[in-house]
């Protein structure tokens, strides 16, 4: 298990999302991916629903863990 997978596994309500073509500082290279992730988390909190886990391709980075 890689570091990103391990981090996402720390919570029962999390997911790991792969963002193709993202650089190390994903907030600069793909800001919309970060905005979408934050919006998803806020919606999950407000509605009391869990995050939908998505299947991932192991070994591709960078990614978002949330």
> What pLDDT is stored for residue 65 in this prediction?
56
> What pLDDT is stored for residue 64 in this prediction?
55
> What pLDDT is stored for residue 47 in this prediction?
92
The Cα–Cα gap between 3 and 50 comes to 22
Two tokens, residue 20: 């193709």
Two tokens, residue 12: 């029962």
66 residues of the chain, pLDDT tens digit each: 578 778 878 888 888 888 888 888 989 988 988 898 899 889 989 999 888 766 544 444 445 555
DSSP track, 26-66 = HHHH-HHHHHHHHHHHHHHHHHTPPPPP----TT---EEE-
């Amino acid at each position: 298990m890689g570091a990103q997978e391990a981090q996402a596994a720390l919570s029962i309500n999390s997911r790991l999302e792969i963002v193709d073509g993202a650089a190390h500082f994903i907030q600069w290279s793909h800001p919309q991916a970060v905005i979408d992730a934050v919006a998803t988390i806020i919606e999950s909190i407000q509605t009391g629903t869990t995050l939908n886990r998505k299947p991932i391709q192991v070994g591709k980075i960078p990614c978002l863990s949330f």
